[in-house]
Amino acid sequence: MPLFEALKKYHEKKVTPFDVPGHKHGKGLPELADFLGEKVLQVDVNSMKPLDFLNDPSSVIKEAQELAAQAFSADHCFFLVNGTTSAVQSMIMSTCNPGEKVILPRNAHKSAINGLILSGAQPVYIQPQINPQLGIAMGVTVESVELAIAENPDAKAVFIINPTYYGYTGNIREIVKLAHRHGMAVLADEAHGAHFGFSGGLPQDAMSAGADMSSVSLHKTGGSLTQSSLLLMREGLIDPGKVRSIINLTQTTSASYLLMSSLDVARKSLATIGSESLQEILRVSSWARENINAIDGLHAFGKELLDGKGVYNFDETKLGVNVTGIGMTGFEAYDLLRDEYNIQVELGDATNILAVISLGDDMDSVSKLVGALRDMAARFGKEKIKIKTPPLKNPEVIVSPRNAFYGMKRTVKLSEAKGMICAESVMAYPPGIPIVAMGEKISEEMIEYIGFIKSQKTTLSGTKDPNVEYIEVLGY
């Protein structure tokens, strides 16, 4: 762990700092130091020769990145301290110039939409496979990617999600082969798949499937600190020097050594004991799914939905539970678990909740969740209900997200915006997938679903109006 070990060595030297940050090893913020612990602030330091420089690494950061590349089956690895958002944006900006096309699923995260704005790329959306009972998008089929390529042979890249928020994947290996036959780079949003390459019981990771770039949220399922991430790439279609230049356009020159060293430690943990740890996590996840499915009205969905197409594989550490059978929306169940049982799950949507089981879990923590769900169903359960699901049709893209972002705008009532071109995005976060994105025509279904989300007292983001009563559209 070259970076982590260098940071420990720096701490042991008890250096007297006359550089930034201004809290000077925590002395300037005693209240924070008392709460977090003095050592945390003593290693919250600035770039210096013994600790290397993230924007132009030549020693311990370079070594740590090379070890990560090796562990994740990549040719190059870049440490990022602005989350996988910056990794996704860098992938798109590294492969697409303004006006060039990128093929991507419509359930892409908002970071991909923002990457389109930054790059000026033109999206070609493909509709992922949909499960209407759960009201969620799955993976994309090889056939849908093939059709998009046939209709857009000039596209520069194919962007895929591996896996979706709920853990489902498409046939990534075949999609990579298909794209490469047409000279297109494959970019993988692997925010929720950092652990894939370390267990044979999980879906295939993007790098081993031959993808050209992959953005990996090591903090989500690999154990590093929140906001730390990896951008992985292989030699061939993309120039690593260009990628570094793109990253340095937006990445801070004051990178956090707390975040970077956590990447180093998390990588080492996965590489050395990841297989053993994940085997136990998969066992615990299987136990939880089996016991939740024994509760009347709840459905913990998983591999029974696989169809060999857009639902090609499944990550069993993603514990999605449909709650409509106990008369609840996922939003209601999400709040009840937090307020009544002191349990925080990852998200709630119209029909489901999602709990993420990862390396920090064990039978004790998962048993608490199962017990809470059993009690919640008994105490608060009602008659099964039918919930309004999000609009799942491919939207009509009128102008590129970038042109919409910079275009002339006006504000109208959301209720009167049908047929207009959206100039901002509307989404619930998590999962951060736009209900309507910049440059798309606003439909009646979009307006109705936004109203439903608001009725559930769920936070919507992306609009200037915090109440989402009004929305910006293109025009004078």
Say which residues have a Cβ less than 8 Å from residue 1's Cβ, sequence separation at least 6: 64, 261, 264, 265, 268
Report residue 395's pLDDT band, with 50, 70 and 90 as the boundaries: confident
Share of the chain above pLDDT 90, in %: 88
pLDDT at residue 353, rounded to an integer: 97
Q: Helices 83-95 & 240-250, crossing angle to 10 degrees?
A: 130
Say yes or no: domain 2-269 is CATH 3.40.50.360. Answer: no
Report residue 461's pLDDT band, with 50, 70 and 90 as the boundaries: confident
CA-based torsion, 71, 1, 90, 164: positive or negative: positive
pLDDT at residue 141, rounded to an integer: 96
pLDDT at residue 460, rounded to an integer: 87
Please say if the pLDDT value at position 190 is more than 90.
yes
Report residue 218's pLDDT band, with 50, 70 and 90 as the boundaries: very high
pLDDT at residue 240, rounded to an integer: 96
Report residue 458's pLDDT band, with 50, 70 and 90 as the boundaries: confident
> Where are the chain's structural domains?
2-269, 275-380, 401-474
Please say if the pLDDT value at position 280 is more than 90.
yes
Query: What CATH superfamily classification does 275-380 receive?
Result: Aspartate Aminotransferase, domain 1 (3.90.1150.10)
pLDDT at residue 282, rounded to an integer: 97
* Average predicted confidence (pLDDT) for the chain: 95
| DSSP summary character for residue 174 | H
> Residue 375 is inside which H or E element, if any?
helix 363-380
What pTM was estimated for this model as a whole?
0.93
| DSSP summary character for residue 464 | S
Query: What CATH superfamily classification does 401-474 receive?
Result: Molybdopterin biosynthesis moea protein, domain 2 (3.90.105.10)
Fold agreement (275-380, 401-474)? no
CB-CB contact of 213 with 190 (8 Å) = no
pLDDT at residue 452, rounded to an integer: 86
Share of the chain above pLDDT 70, in %: 99
What three-state secondary structure class fits 393?
coil
> Residue 172 is inside which H or E element, if any?
helix 172-181
